[in-house]
Structure 1
Amino acid sequence: MIIRNSTEADIPEIFRLYREAAAHQAKVKATVVWPTFERQLVDTEVAENRQWKMVVDGQIACVWVITFEDAQIWEERNSDSAIYIHRIATNPAFRGQNFVIKIVNWAKAYAKSLGKNYVRLDTIGNNIRLIEHYTSAGFDFLGVFNLKNTTGLPEHYQQGPAALFEIKL
């Protein structure tokens, strides 16, 4: 298993994994389904080295994005020194291998190397299964919060409250 930044050549596969994730979400009750994300968003993330991939046996097994601020979602907590994980999408050929724990271990080490104090993520809706999944990976569940301003966020943020999670380093 290798973790490295995604490249421009990976973008078609990133979008395939997003489509696969959305199709999987559509099958799960009480899950908000991801919209089609804008190409420019992913281009920017790749150019800024914030789009990551996990490679197993030469295949992209999982992708995710990080950011260093997330004011609309984390509001006053955004002033904390943190990395924020978004859009974890697993290749269906690799599902069930608990990549979230591997991402968490990577994120903790990466955040510490940057002098950050938290690793955070969110999900939309009150998805009990996903809440249990993230807490079993080491996140503290902070609760479900209505976002005050979703202007400019991807459209799925309009579909419900945000469940917030963090790991204090």
Structure 2
Amino acid sequence: MITNTTLHDTEEIFDLYKMASDYKKKISGVQWPEFDRNMIETEIKENRHWKIIIEGHIACIWSITLEDEQVWEERNADPSVYIHRIATNPNFRGQKFVEQIAEWTKKYALENNKLYVRMDTTAGNQRLTDYYIKCGFSHLGAKKILNTQGRPAHYHNATMELFQMKV
């Protein structure tokens, strides 16, 4: 079941981000920073933070936004939904959550008159790039992020891989 996270989920969300970051570092050598609590709570309050629930447990989380000018620059003018920070509970790995999230986001995009579903990830993890392509995303290539003011630390001085799916 896909539903919005709540402020009650905040501690578990941060636990999942920590586990995902540790796993990401082990696989690719790159890890997420500790995310700003106010940023996450704002996403929750604005109903932009989501979860997949399986048997009463949070199996996966992610957030969305309808703008991402710092990463997508002039392409931000295209009506799009941007997926950020997918994190899977290790007990639920292998259940193709990215495919489920992509399908859910395509429906969300249609309901909100958007043309694309987009996302980015830190460059250097070919396995993840290949997986996103398998999930239906087109790989648009790598991009050095120049304007990182207000962004989480993993965007600073980073090259990101960009992905897009037409709705």
TM-score normalised by the shorter chain: which range applies?
over 0.9
Structural RMSD (CA): 0.9
Question: Distance between the aligned counterparts of 2:127 and 2:32, measured in 1?
Answer: 17
Matched, 1:40 2:28: no
Q: Counterpart of 1:108?
A: 106
Counterpart residue identity of residue 91, structure 2: A
Q: Decide which of 75, 90, 94 is 1:92's aligned counterpart.
A: 90
Gaps of 5+ in 1: none
Query: Which deviates more, 58-67 or 155-164?
Result: 155-164
Kindly state the Cα deviation for residue 159 of structure 1 after the two structures are TM-superposed: 4.5
Q: Percent identity?
A: 49
Q: Counterpart of 1:147?
A: 145
Task: Give CA deviations for 1:44-66 in whole Å, capped at 9, x if unaligned.
Answer: 00000000000011111000000
TM-score, length of structure 2 as denominator length: 0.97
TM-score, length of structure 1 as denominator length: 0.96
Counterpart residue identity of residue 126, structure 1: G
Question: Distance between the aligned counterparts of 2:136 and 2:157, measured in 1?
Answer: 26
Runs of 4+ more than 4 Å apart: none
Gaps of 5+ in 2: none
Question: Distance between the aligned counterparts of 1:118 and 1:106, measured in 2?
Answer: 13
Question: Distance between the aligned counterparts of 2:121 and 2:140, measured in 1?
Answer: 12
Number of aligned positions between the proteins: 167
Question: Distance between the aligned counterparts of 1:44 and 1:102, measured in 2?
Answer: 24
Query: Which deviates more, 52-61 or 155-164?
Result: 155-164
